[in-house]
Amino acid sequence: MSKIRHSINVNSQPSGAGCVECLKGDGWWLHLRRCAECGHIGCCDSSPEQHSSKHAAETGHHIIASFEPGEDWFYDFETRNYVDGVPLPPPTAHPTDQPVPGPKGKVPHNWESLLN
């Protein structure tokens, strides 16, 4: 458990309302994940670019929390298991008016065939 505690920063703020890398480029995502250590918002492993797991691999920040409305689970990329988290500063999800997949205007019509 001590290892997991070290990977969660209870003061970390979410980096924004969407995947950092997708918003910089022209990307889109299915679901969003929040790094429990630094607050990086990235796209899930079903999304084309999988920026959340890439962030974990690059930084060693291996615990993520869901950033989807109504979800409150945590996941550990190292053990590939769900773990008990702790409350993180709000917001704990993207705005409910943001579409899934998102962001608005960037999702191709054939998005379902592009998922991983």
The residue ranges that bind Zn ion (CB under 5 A) are 19, 21-22, 35, 37-38, 40, 43, 49, 51, 61
Least Å distance between CB 1 and Zn ion? Answer: 20
Q: In this complex, which beta carbon is closest to Zn ion, that of residue 46 or of residue 96?
A: 46
Q: Which is nearer to Zn ion, 38 or 114 (CB)?
A: 38
Cα 47 from chain centroid? 11
3-state SS of the chain: helix, strand, coil percent to 5? 20, 15, 65
Instruction: Tell the smallest beta-carbon distance from residue 9 to Zn ion (Å).
Output: 9
Min CB(102)–Zn ion separation in Å: 10
Residues ≥6 apart with Cβ < 8 Å to 91: 14
Minimum distance, C-beta of residue 107 to Zn ion, in the bound complex (Å): 12
Inter-residue contact 52 to 64 (CB < 8 Å): yes
Q: Exposed/middle/buried for 74, CB within 10 Å: 0-12, 13-18, 19+?
A: buried
Nearer to Zn ion, 96 or 116 (CB): 116
